[in-house]
Amino acid sequence: MMANFLLYMLFSGLEFLATFILIFSMFNIDYKYYKLEIPVAVFIITLISYFMVVTGIYRYVPIPFAIIASIIILLFKFFEIGKKVYSIIVTVGGVLVYGLIQYVSITLAMHYDFATKNQLNDSFSIKVYIMQVVCASVATLIGIYIKRFNSGFGFMLRGGRYKKFFGISILMLLGMSASSIVFLNIENINYTIAICLMFLLFILVFIHLSSLRDNYEFSSDRKGGEIINEKTTQQKIV
């Protein structure tokens, strides 16, 4: 029991750490200001996830929904990053990318007979641990690439006009939660492929909306200096 707990905390913790790396890289948030907050947040979220798995709550409350809600609260209250709406949007963006990485990996694992659906549903199996390391590594490398080439988004939701973006993000959140329920109850790999395509579509829409938001905040000449004209790398966001 203790071994399962420690292994779960280690490998799932790697996944949540990679998710934070994605979020911070995608939205130009500097890691160095959150050296304490990140590991504490990863521990809290991993513990919540473990509790949901061992109690079976994940059958009734989708883990992605609970995890996203936890990250949003932590970003807003613990990290003190931007507005509440901003925390929701950036969390949805980061989890979308990580979710696609997960489902593509799952699809490939099932297609090449690396793991069966039942094995992938066992949170304490060796094959699941291997999958977690692979997904976390890919996500981390993507995050490093984005950070290295300063390819993230810099919007901070200044100047209003983000209700549509927010609404679509909420719909994406619900879609991600529904996908986890579908995955738990299907065996056919075609459904997993369909989930991958759904995540890919969500990401493309999210990137489009983020680009529009960047253009609005950094290219528009707003009266009173509400929007600046020069895009800068974000420092610590308060």
Angle between helical axes of 37-55 and 2-26 (0-180°, round to 10): 130
Domain assignment present for 188: yes
What's the pLDDT at 169? Answer: 96
Q: So what's the pLDDT on residue 1? A: 76
Domain membership of residue 147 as a residue range: 2-151+163-217
Sign, CA torsion 8/11/14/18: negative
> Mind spelling out the 3-state secondary structure of 156-212?
CCCCCCCHHHHHHHHHHHHHHHHHHHHHHCCCCHHHHHHHHHHHHHHHHHHHHHHHH
Q: How many domains does the chain have?
A: 1
pTM assigned to the model: 0.89
Q: Is residue 222 part of a domain?
A: no
Q: What is the pLDDT of residues 102-136, one digit of tens each?
A: 999 999 999 999 998 888 889 999 999 999 999 99
Q: What is the pLDDT of residue 220?
A: 60
Confirm whether 114 is domain-assigned.
Answer: yes
CB 18 within 8 A of CB 48: no
**Does a structural domain hold residue 232?**
no
Please, what sign has the CA dihedral across residues 164, 170, 172, 174?
negative
Instruction: Tell me, yes or no, whether 27 lies in a domain.
Output: yes
What is the C-alpha to C-alpha distance for residues 138 and 14, in angstroms, rounded to an integer?
11
Inside any domain, residue 98: yes
Domain-embedded: residue 234: no
Is 227 part of any domain? no
What would the two tokens of residue 134 be? 């692979």
pLDDT surpasses 70 at 156? yes
For 192-234, the pLDDT digits (tens) are 999 999 999 999 999 999 999 999 888 764 444 544 434 444 4
